[in-house]
């Protein structure tokens, strides 16, 4: 596309870029390096992320820190029940002066989109967004408008509060490459968070450490990471086992295998490797697969969780060594 | 099977030695027994790949089938069924390698699919199909004992051996709560009942064989001196549809071959015909040793006759006027004055070619014995003879009158009443019942013509009446056995059959429904039996080579398919870098820190256990791990330098881990 992307990044350059962004984010998000790793892997592999966690764990902060670290366009949409598709995608408005309709682009025409509390919007609006995520284009008034090559959606949702929400349908959950939970940090880290905020929010102090072009180059580089055939088999075996598990109504599809392979490549590059190792697959399996599973209601009632199920499957499958 | 059900020690070896003793290969049996017992006791174990088990089992099968085929195709073959029996007798030797590798394996079991090809195919279609591990030793022991039984012709030794071996095996399995004495008593009872049962069965079989031998097993070795008739017997004549002769002749000649003569008799005494004063004398063969000249004359008909022998001997069935028997490599051939020919040939089948002339020339001229009428029969014969006015008639007129007299008689193989008191069976037949089978007609005719002054003899043999399109031959069944009269007319013997001609039709009606099928089977077995003596030679060996070739080809093809098929299954795959020297380091680490979980990736595990190592060793370990993972998971692979570096690192680590 442009000159900066014509040269492929070297492994060490890619790793340095990753480290730079991660370091920047970790100034804001303390004690979440594991989640940051995965988030950046998804970011660099072009997969969208669903952050699901209890309120106050820093979901929005993480998304904003990522956006701040990359010198790219960032928009945020607060999803509410009365949000309409046109509020997300854009709308054609009649211009009195020009005597014609002109398109006012919605917030999806951006590089990084934070869809906050996505499950509060009506299914209609959710669908509009999810379509953009899958197709990378917006169709309004019979015209199809492409979205920038760097388009990354971080959606957040709250898993405990369900009143007035519209849970995402399973088919749409599948559009997210991974679901991340941040969880609570330990006491020491939390103390450090308090201390850091004494002099204002750290988010205000960080600046961009990578350009849009840097990120696009990184995305190109991820595709060059090598994946052994043996690990492809390993990935497929894990994914296929989710289909046969007795507690599962609906297992993971081939899109899950693709996402796992692609994310594992990005994670390998994050570690400065040219090739994927089994541990990368293992590290990502739960985040990539669990949200796509539909559990049997009885199993759910009996306390089974999709994450635990994927963990069990990973423990059952013999790992290549 | 639970370990408790393992065979007691040395039992398999003892059973093999017993088998060797029974089949007459004691050394082989003891050798196999020692080998297998040693295999079970060796301290080291050898585990074969499943495919190797399959290959071994297939190879054993090839050798086994090859053994049977070679046995069956050889020129002096005793027949296919005998070859199979011989093969089964040696089956323990053929499958001993399978038992040996199982005993040598660490699991002590083998997959059922190794033995059953069908199971392998099912597994190929459905990899999840059940394929249980089995203990081959038990079935192998059963095969050994059964094979020993196949060779058993030495009486009680086999049963005694089986009892001892069974006691050996069962003693280890006896219920521990029961006293040994009770166990021994029950076992002895069982063994005794088994002995009584099998002896009883043998006796019963012998008895049944003796019952049926009269009409079924007597084959072609009839008594040339005496013919015990069924004249006077009550009940139905039991006649078999077994094919005893096959006659290959031109249709034109067949008309002259209607009666195939076997033996003639001149003296009737109490329902038996006896060849009086007619001893068999050996005949010298003509040049070549396979041609036997019985009479002089010009041949007018020719036929090839195939017959089943019994004990290698047969009283030959010959057409009237036989001049020469050709292509019969008999050891001896005996003839008597009454035209009976008996040959000692050997083997199960005989075939010969017969040339016959117009007149019966192989029989001596009549003697006074050919005119004798037994005293017991004389009153009835005289009455009938007087009634017909036979005395003093010309022979041809006498024959005409006798024939017309019998025209009102009926053919019957069934009698429900004994002769009236004071009458002989023949008298009853002539004057009262007027019904009977060929023996009545032939005997009565012979005696009546004697009363008319015509020398006659009672002739036995077969009537050749049935042509089989299936076999393209005339077939003669046991129930076609026939009797007729030979009369001396105009200076020569003439065959004279007074049995009503519908007898054959009546007999045919009694043919069983399944005769068509059984004929087909008989023909098939006959064709097969004829193969060895008449068609053996290079052809058989070409066939054998072809068969073995096909077997090998099928096996090889199967193996190729298996190899191609296993490519799809991830388990059987060989991935890149599986020869990495790092695995040796992993083994050392396992010895020190315990094994890595099946799902624990190498990286985290090394990180976990590496903590316990000193920093320099840990650094080396991590470097080696890095190279190993590159070797294993980077499709681009590693360069020669990196590979060497990995070798150096792993060798050093192995040493370090062993010493510390």
Instruction: Render pLDDT for B415-431 as a digit per residue (tens, 0 to 9).
Output: 777 777 778 888 888 88
Q: Are A169 and A121 within 8 A, CB to CB?
A: no
pLDDT higher than 70, residue B560: no
CB B625 within 8 A of CB B603: yes
**Residue A288: pLDDT band with limits 50, 70, 90:** very high
Q: Which residue has the higher pLDDT, A224 or B221?
A: A224
B485 contacts B496 by C-beta, under 8 angstroms: yes
Q: Using the predicted structure, report yes or no on whether residue B512 has a pLDDT greater than 70.
A: no
Q: Is the pLDDT of residue B233 over 70?
A: no
* Contact between B633 and A279 using a beta-carbon 8 Å cutoff: no
Identify the residue with better confidence: B167 or B209: B167
User: H helices of B390-514, where?
Assistant: 395-406, 425-428, 438-451, 503-509
A321 interaction partners in chain B (CB closer than 8 Å)? 586, 596, 601-602, 632
pLDDT in tens, B589-614: 888 888 888 888 888 888 888 888 88
- What average pLDDT does this structure show over B578-586? 85
**pLDDT of A156 over the 50 cut:** yes
pLDDT of amino acid A83 = 92
State which residue of chain B sits closest to A313, comparing Cα positions. B599
B172: pLDDT strictly greater than 60: yes
Which residues, in sequence order, are bridge partners of residue A103?
A92
**Range in A155-159, B376-380, B544-548, B616-620 with the lowest mean pLDDT:** B544-548
Q: Which residues of B touch A230 (CB under 8 A)?
A: 573, 575-576, 632-633
- Which of the residues A11, A34, A228 would you substitute to probe the B interface, choosing the one with the greatest number of B C-beta atoms within 10 Å? A228
Element (H, E) at A77: strand A74-78
Q: Give me the mean pLDDT over the A57-84 stretch.
A: 89
Between the two ends of chain A, the Cα-to-Cα distance in Å is 40
Q: How confident is the model at residue A219 (pLDDT cuts 50, 70, 90)?
A: very high
Q: What is the pLDDT of residue A232?
A: 93
- Residue-wise pLDDT tens digits, B269-290: 877 888 888 888 888 888 777 8
Among the residue ranges A82-86, B232-236, B389-393, the one predicted with the least confidence is: B232-236
* Per-range mean pLDDT, top range of B59-63, B109-113, B618-622: B618-622
Subunit contact A237:B570, Cβ cutoff 8 A? yes
Residue of A227, A264, A281, A319 to mutate for B, most B C-beta atoms under 10 A: A319
Q: Do B633 and A321 touch (CB under 8 A)?
A: no
Query: What confidence tier does B568 reach under pLDDT thresholds 50, 70, 90?
Result: very low
Residues pairing with B352 in the sheet: B305
Whether A231 sits inside 8 A of B633 (CB atoms) is yes
Supply angle C-alpha A83, A84, A85, rounded to 5: 130
Nearest to B140 by CA among B187, B105, B194, B101: B101
pLDDT at B213 over 60: no
Sequence ranges of the domains in chain B: 3-173, 174-217, 226-511, 582-659
pLDDT at B359 over 60: yes
* DSSP symbol at B116: -
pLDDT digits (tens, 9 = 90+) for B335-348: 888 888 888 887 77
- CA–CA gap between residue B609 and residue B629 (Å, rounded): 17
In the structure, what pLDDT confidence band is assigned to residue A195 with cuts at 50, 70 and 90? confident
Put simply, the answer to whether A320 touches B632 (Cβ < 8 Å) is: yes
Helix ranges (H only) for B455-514 are: 503-509
Test A277 with B603 for CB contact under 8 angstroms. yes
The model's pLDDT over B8-41, given as tens digits with 9 standing for 90+, comes to 888 889 999 999 888 888 899 999 999 888 888 8
Is the pLDDT confidence value at A4 over 70?
no
pLDDT for residue A160: 75
Dump pLDDT digits (tens) for A104-135.
888 999 999 999 889 899 988 988 888 888 88
User: Which tokens belong to A282?
Assistant: 């293992």
Residues 6+ apart with CB under 8 A from A206: A24, A27, A28, A65, A68, A69
What pLDDT shows up at residue B544? 67
Q: Mean pLDDT across the stretch A129-157?
A: 87
Q: For every residue of A243-254, which 3-state class applies, written as one string?
A: HHCCCEEECCCH
Mean pLDDT within B82-111: 82
- Kindly list the residues from chain B whose CB atom is less than 8 angstroms away from the CB atom of residue A282: 599, 601
| B234-261 CB burial, b ≥16 within 10 A, e <16 | eeebebebebbbbbebeeeebebbbbbb
Identity of the residue in A226, A228, A317 whose CB atom sits nearest the CB atom of B599? A317
Asked if B599's CB is within 8 angstroms of A277's CB, the reply is: no
Any idea what DSSP says for residue B310? B
Model confidence at B291, in pLDDT bands (50, 70, 90)?
Answer: confident
pLDDT of B1 strictly over 50 = no
Q: Which residue has tokens 């480290």?
A: A19
- Residue B240, both tokens: 């078999």
Task: Count CB atoms within 10 A of the CB of residue B351.
Answer: 16
The mean per-residue pLDDT over the stretch B122-135 comes to 76
Cβ neighbours around A199 below 10 Å, total: 9
* ipTM (interface predicted TM): 0.85
pLDDT at position A9 is 84
Q: Do A320 and B600 touch (CB under 8 A)?
A: no
Residue A221 to residue A15: CA distance in whole angstroms: 10
The mean pLDDT value for B644-654 works out to 88
The more confident residue out of A16 and B557 is A16
pLDDT of residue B5 exceeding 70, the answer is no
| Range B58-67, long-range pairs (CB < 8 A, 24+ positions) | B58/B117, B58/B555, B58/B558, B59/B97, B59/B555, B60/B94, B60/B95, B60/B97, B60/B98, B62/B548, B62/B551, B62/B552, B62/B555, B63/B94, B64/B91, B64/B94, B64/B95, B65/B551, B66/B548, B66/B551, B67/B94
pLDDT of A177 reads 92
Inform me whether the pLDDT recorded for B214 exceeds 60: no
List CB contacts (< 8 A) between A320 and chain B: 575, 632-633
Picking from A226, A278, A282, the nearest residue to B635 by CB comes out as A226
| Per-residue pLDDT tens digits for A235-273 | 999 999 998 888 888 889 899 999 999 999 999 999 999
Report chain A residues whose CB lies below 8 A from the CB of B578. none
Domains plus CATH for chain A?
3-224 (3.40.50.300), 225-321 (1.10.8.80)
3-state secondary structure of B212: helix
Phi and psi angles of residue B21, each rounded to the nearest 5 degrees, phi first: -60, -40
Tell me which of B368 and B7 has the higher pLDDT: B368
Beta pairing, strands B322-326 & B349-356? antiparallel
pLDDT band at B473; cut points 50, 70, 90:
confident
% residues pLDDT > 70 (chain B) = 84
Chain A contacts of B602, Cβ < 8 Å?
278-279, 319, 321
Work out the pLDDT band at B2, boundaries 50, 70, 90: very low
Structure confidence at residue A59 (pLDDT): 84
Task: Spell out the residues 6+ positions from residue A248 whose beta carbon is closer than 8 angstroms to its own.
Answer: A242, A293, A294, A295, A296, A299, A309
Q: Give the pLDDT confidence score for residue B215 in this predicted structure.
A: 43
> Across the interface, which of A230, A275, A316 has its CB nearest the CB of B599?
A316
Give the pLDDT band of residue B505 (cuts 50, 70, 90): confident
| Minimal C-alpha gap between A309 and chain B (Å) | 15
**pLDDT at residue A265 in the model:** 94
In this predicted structure, what is the pLDDT of residue B146?
87
Beta carbons of B215 and B230 less than 8 angstroms apart: no
Pairing between β-strand A74-78 and β-strand A112-116 as defined by DSSP bridges:
parallel
pLDDT at A222 over 90: yes
Can you tell me the mean pLDDT for B71-90?
70
pLDDT at B218 over 70: no
**Contact flag A315-B602 (C-beta cutoff 8 Å):** no
Q: What is the mean pLDDT of chain B?
A: 80
Give me the pLDDT at residue A69, please: 92
Q: What is the mean pLDDT of residues B393-420?
A: 84
């Amino acid at each position: 596309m442009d000159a900066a992307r014509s040269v492929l990044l070297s492994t060490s350059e890619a790793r340095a870029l990753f480290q730079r962004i991660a370091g920047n984010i970790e100034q804001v998000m303390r004690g979440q390096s594991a989640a940051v790793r995965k988030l950046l892997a998804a970011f660099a592999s072009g997969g969208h992320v669903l952050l699901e966690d209890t309120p106050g764990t820093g979901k929005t902060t993480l998304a904003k820190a990522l956006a701040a670290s990359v010198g790219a366009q960032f928009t945020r949409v607060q999803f509410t029940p009365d949000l309409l598709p046109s509020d997300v995608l854009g709308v054609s408005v009649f211009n009195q002066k020009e005597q014609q309709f002109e398109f006012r682009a919605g917030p999806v025409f951006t590089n990084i989109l934070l869809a906050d509390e996505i499950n509060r919007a009506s299914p209609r609006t959710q669908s509009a967004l999810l379509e953009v995520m899958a197709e990378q284009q917006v169709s309004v008034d019979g015209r199809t408008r492409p979205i920038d090559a760097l388009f990354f959606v971080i959606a957040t949702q709250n898993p405990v509060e369900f009143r007035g929400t519209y849970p995402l349908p399973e088919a749409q959950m599948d559009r997210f490459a991974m679901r991340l939970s941040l969880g609570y940090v330990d006491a020491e880290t939390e103390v450090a968070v308090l201390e850091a905020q004494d002099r204002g929010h750290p988010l205000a102090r960080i600046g961009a450490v990578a350009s849009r072009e840097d990120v696009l180059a990184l995305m190109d580089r991820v595709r060059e990471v090598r994946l052994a055939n043996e690990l492809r088999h390993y990935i497929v075996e894990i994914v296929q086992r989710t289909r046969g598990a007795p507690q599962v109504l609906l297992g993971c599809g081939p899109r899950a295998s693709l996402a796992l392979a692609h994310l594992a490549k990005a994670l390998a590059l994050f570690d400065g490797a040219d090739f994927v190792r089994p541990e990368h697959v293992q590290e990502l399996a739960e985040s990539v697969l669990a949200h796509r599973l539909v559990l049997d209601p009885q199993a759910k009632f009996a306390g089974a969780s999709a994450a635990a199920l994927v963990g069990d499957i990973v423990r059952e499958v013999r790992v290549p060594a | 099977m639970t370990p408790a059900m393992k065979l007691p020690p040395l039992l398999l070896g003892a059973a093999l030695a017993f088998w060797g003793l029974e089949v007459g290969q004691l050394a082989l049996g003891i050798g196999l027994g020692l080998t297998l017992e040693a295999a079970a006791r060796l301290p080291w174990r050898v585990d074969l790949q499943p495919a190797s088990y399959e290959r071994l089992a297939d190879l054993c099968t090839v050798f086994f089938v090859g053994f049977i085929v070679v046995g069956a195709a050889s020129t002096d073959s005793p027949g296919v069924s005998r070859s199979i029996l011989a093969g089964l007798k040696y089956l323990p030797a053929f499958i001993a390698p399978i038992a040996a590798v199982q005993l040598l394996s660490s699991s002590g079991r083998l997959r059922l699919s190794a033995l059953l090809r069908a199971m392998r195919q099912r597994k190929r279609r459905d990899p999840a199909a059940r394929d249980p591990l089995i203990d081959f030793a038990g079935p192998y022991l059963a095969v050994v004992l059964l094979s020993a039984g196949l060779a058993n012709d030495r009486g009680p030794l086999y049963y005694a051996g089986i009892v001892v071996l069974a006691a050996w095996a069962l003693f280890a399995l006896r219920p521990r709560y029961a006293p040994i004495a009770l166990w021994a008593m029950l076992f002895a009872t069982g063994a005794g009942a088994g002995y009584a049962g099998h002896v009883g069965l043998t006796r019963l079989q012998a008895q049944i064989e003796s019952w049926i031998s009269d009409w079924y097993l007597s084959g072609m070795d009839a008594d040339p001196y005496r013919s015990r008739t069924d004249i006077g017997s009550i009940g139905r004549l039991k006649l078999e549809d077994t094919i005893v002769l096959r006659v290959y002749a031109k249709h034109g000649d067949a008309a002259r071959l209607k009666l195939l003569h076997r033996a003639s008799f001149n003296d009737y005494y109490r329902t038996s015909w006896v060849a009086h004063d007619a001893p068999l004398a050996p005949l010298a063969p003509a040049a070549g040793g396979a041609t036997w000249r019985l009479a002089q004359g010009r041949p007018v008909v020719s036929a090839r006759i195939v017959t089943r022998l019994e004990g290698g001997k047969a009283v030959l069935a010959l057409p009237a006027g036989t001049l020469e028997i050709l292509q019969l490599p008999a050891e001896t051939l005996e003839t008597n004055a009454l035209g009976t020919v008996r040959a000692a040939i050997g083997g199960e089948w005989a075939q010969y070619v017969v040339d016959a002339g117009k007149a019966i020339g192989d029989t001596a001229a009549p003697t006074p014995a050919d005119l004798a009428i037994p005293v017991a029969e004389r009153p009835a014969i005289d009455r009938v003879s007087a009634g017909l006015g036979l005395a003093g008639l010309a022979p041809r007129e006498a024959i005409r009158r006798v024939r017309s007299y019998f025209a009102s008689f009926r053919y019957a193989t069934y009698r429900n009443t004994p002769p009236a008191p004071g009458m002989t069976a023949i008298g009853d037949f002539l004057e009262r019942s007027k019904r009977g089978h060929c023996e009545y007609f032939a005997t009565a005719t012979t005696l009546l013509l004697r009363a008319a002054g015509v020398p006659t003899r009672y002739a036995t043999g077969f009537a050749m009446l049935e042509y089989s399109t299936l076999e393209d031959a005339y077939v003669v069944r046991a129930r076609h056995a026939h009797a007729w009269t030979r009369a001396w007319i105009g200076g020569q013997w003439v065959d004279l059959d007074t049995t009503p001609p519908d007898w054959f039709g009546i007999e045919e009606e009694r043919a069983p429904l399944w005769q068509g099928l059984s004929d087909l089977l008989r023909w098939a077995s006959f064709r097969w039996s004829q193969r060895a003596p008449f068609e053996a030679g290079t052809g058989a060996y070409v066939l054998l080579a072809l068969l073995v070739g096909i077997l090998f080809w099928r096996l090889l093809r199967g193996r190729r398919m298996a190899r191609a098929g296993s490519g799809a299954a991830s388990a059987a795959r060989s991935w890149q870098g599986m020869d990495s020297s790092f695995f040796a380091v992993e083994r050392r680490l396992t010895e020190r820190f315990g094994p890595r979980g099946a799902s624990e990736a190498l990286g985290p595990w090394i990180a976990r256990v590496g903590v316990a190592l000193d920093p320099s060793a840990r650094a080396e370990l991590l470097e080696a791990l890095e190279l190993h993972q590159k070797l294993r998971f980077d499709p681009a692979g590693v360069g020669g330098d990196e590979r060497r570096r990995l070798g150096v690192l792993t060798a050093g680590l192995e040493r370090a881990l062993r010493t510390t």
